[in-house]
Amino acid sequence: MTISIKLENDTVCFHCGLPVPKSETWGIDFEGHRRPMCCPGCEAVAQAIIDSGLASFYQKRTAYSVTADSLEEVLEPCVTELSEEAFEDDELQETSLIIEGITCSACIWLLERQVKQLDGVVSFSVNYATRRARLKTVKQTIHVADVLEAIRAVGYHATPFDTSKQFSNLQKERKDFLSRIGVALFCGMQVMMITLGLYIAGPNEVEAELLQFLKWVSALLTLPVVLFSGLPFLQAAYRDIKNKMPGMDVPVALGIGLGFVASLINTYIGRGDTYYESVCMFVLFLMLARYVEFLTRWYAISSSERMMQAVPMVAKRVADDGRLETVSAKSLQLGDEVQINPGEVIPADAIVLKGRSEVDESILTGENEPINKTSGDGLLGGSHNLSNTLTATVSCVGKHSTLSTIARLIDQAQAEKPAWVEAADRFASLFVSMVILVTASTAIYGYWQGDVEWFSTALSVLVVTCPCALSLATPTAYTAAMSALFGQGIIITKGTSLETLATVDRVIFDKTGTLTQGAMTVSNVTLFGSQERQNIMDIAISLESFSDHPIARAFKREKAKVNYQAMNVEQASGLGLQGVVEGGVYYLGSEDFINQALGITLDRVDANVTQVYLANEKQVLASFEIHDDIRKGAQLSVAWLKEQGKKVSLLSGDKSVPVKWLAKQVGIEDVTFNATPSDKLNEIDRLQSAGERVVMVGDGVNDAPILAKADVSISVSGASHLARASSDVLLMNNDMQSLRYVFRLSSKVSAIIKQNMGWALVYNIGALPLAMAGYVEPWQAALGMSVSSLVVVLNSFRLRFTRPLKHHLEK
Amino acid sequence: MGSLYFLIPVSVVLVGLIVAIFLWAVRSGQFDDLEGPAHSILFEEEDKAADRELEDKDNDSKTQ
Residue A407 lies in a domain: no
CB A543 within 8 A of CB A566: yes
- Mind listing the pLDDT tens digit for each residue in B6-31? 999 999 999 999 999 999 999 988 88
pLDDT at A604: 59
Domain end (from A74, A105, A128)? A74
Q: Are residues A538 and A505 in the same domain?
A: no
Q: Nearest by CB to B33, which of A128, A179, A210?
A: A128
pLDDT at A303: 45
CB A274 within 8 A of CB A215: yes
Q: Which long-range contacts (CB under 8 A, 24 or more apart) does A437-442 make?
A: A438/A465, A438/A768, A438/A772, A439/A465, A442/A771, A442/A772
Which amino acid is it at A673?
F
Q: Distance of alpha carbon A179 from its chain centroid, rounded?
A: 27
Residue A688 lies in a domain: yes
Residue A405 lies in a domain: no
pLDDT at A5: 42
Q: Nearest by CB to B5, which of A127, A175, A213?
A: A213
Q: Report how far residue A425's alpha carbon sits from residue A322's, in angstroms, rounded to the nearest whole number.
A: 59
Q: Are residues A429 and A385 in the same domain?
A: no
Find residues 45-64 of chain B whose CB sits inside 8 Å of chain A.
46-47
Q: Are residues A106 and A64 in the same domain?
A: no
Q: Is B32 on the interface with A (CB under 8 A)?
A: yes
Q: Is B10 on the interface with A (CB under 8 A)?
A: no
pLDDT at A775: 79
pLDDT at A401: 67
Rounded to a whole number, what is the distance in Å from the CA of A129 to chain B's nearest CA? 6
Residue A79 lies in a domain: no
Determine whether the interchain pair A113/B34 forms a contact, defined as Cβ–Cβ distance below 8 Å: no
For residue B33, the chain A residues in CB contact (below 8 A) are 127-130
pLDDT at A797: 79
For residue B32, the chain A residues in CB contact (below 8 A) are 127, 129-130, 171
- CA distances to A199, A494, A746 from A268, in Å: 20, 44, 49
pLDDT at B25: 93
pLDDT at A229: 92
SS3 content of chain A, % helix, strand, coil (to 5): 50, 20, 35
Mean pLDDT by 10 residues, chain A (811 residues): 48 74 70 74 78 76 66 38 45 74 74 81 76 77 77 76 60 88 93 85 79 91 93 86 72 80 87 79 76 63 42 69 72 81 77 83 60 81 77 76 60 49 60 79 85 73 68 71 74 73 86 72 77 82 76 73 78 76 83 78 62 82 78 84 88 77 84 80 87 84 75 76 70 78 86 86 83 74 72 81 54 36
For residue B27, the chain A residues in CB contact (below 8 A) are 175, 179
Determine whether the interchain pair A182/B5 forms a contact, defined as Cβ–Cβ distance below 8 Å: no
Residue A320 lies in a domain: yes
pLDDT at A75: 36
Q: Are residues A88 and A49 in the same domain?
A: no
Residue A206 lies in a domain: yes
Determine whether the interchain pair B35/A128 forms a contact, defined as Cβ–Cβ distance below 8 Å: yes
Residue A244 lies in a domain: yes
- CA distances to A20, A576, A647 from A670, in Å: 41, 25, 9
pLDDT at A803: 66
Q: pTM higher than 0.90, yes or no?
A: no
Q: Is B11 on the interface with A (CB under 8 A)?
A: yes
Determine whether the interchain pair A179/B22 forms a contact, defined as Cβ–Cβ distance below 8 Å: yes
Q: Are residues A436 and A297 in the same domain?
A: yes
Q: Are residues A248 and A110 in the same domain?
A: no
The per-residue DSSP string of A324-344 comes to EEEEEGGG--TT-EEEE-TTP
Residues spanned by the domain of A637: 488-516+631-747
For residue B16, the chain A residues in CB contact (below 8 A) are none
Rounded to a whole number, what is the distance in Å from the CA of A111 to chain B's nearest CA? 12
Domain end (from A348, A369, A400)? A400
What is the enclosing helix (H) or strand (E) of B24?
helix B4-27
Determine whether the interchain pair A179/B32 forms a contact, defined as Cβ–Cβ distance below 8 Å: no
Rounded to a whole number, what is the distance in Å from the CA of B56 to chain A's nearest CA? 16
Phi, psi of A651 (to 5 degrees): -130, 115
pLDDT at A218: 93
User: Degrees (nearest 5) of the Cα angle A712, A298, A708?
Assistant: 25
- ipTM over 0.95? The verdict is no
Domain end (from A627, A645, A669)? A627
Q: Is B7 on the interface with A (CB under 8 A)?
A: no
Phi, psi of A568 (to 5 degrees): 50, 45
Q: Are residues A248 and A185 in the same domain?
A: yes
Rounded to a whole number, what is the distance in Å from the CA of B35 to chain A's nearest CA? 6
pLDDT at B46: 52
Q: Nearest by CB to A178, which of B26, B39, B47?
A: B26
Interface of A to B at Cβ within 8 Å reads: 56, 60, 105-106, 108-109, 113, 126-130, 171, 175, 178-179, 182-183, 186-187, 190, 194, 207, 210, 213-214, 217, 220-221, 224
Into how many domains does chain A fold? 6
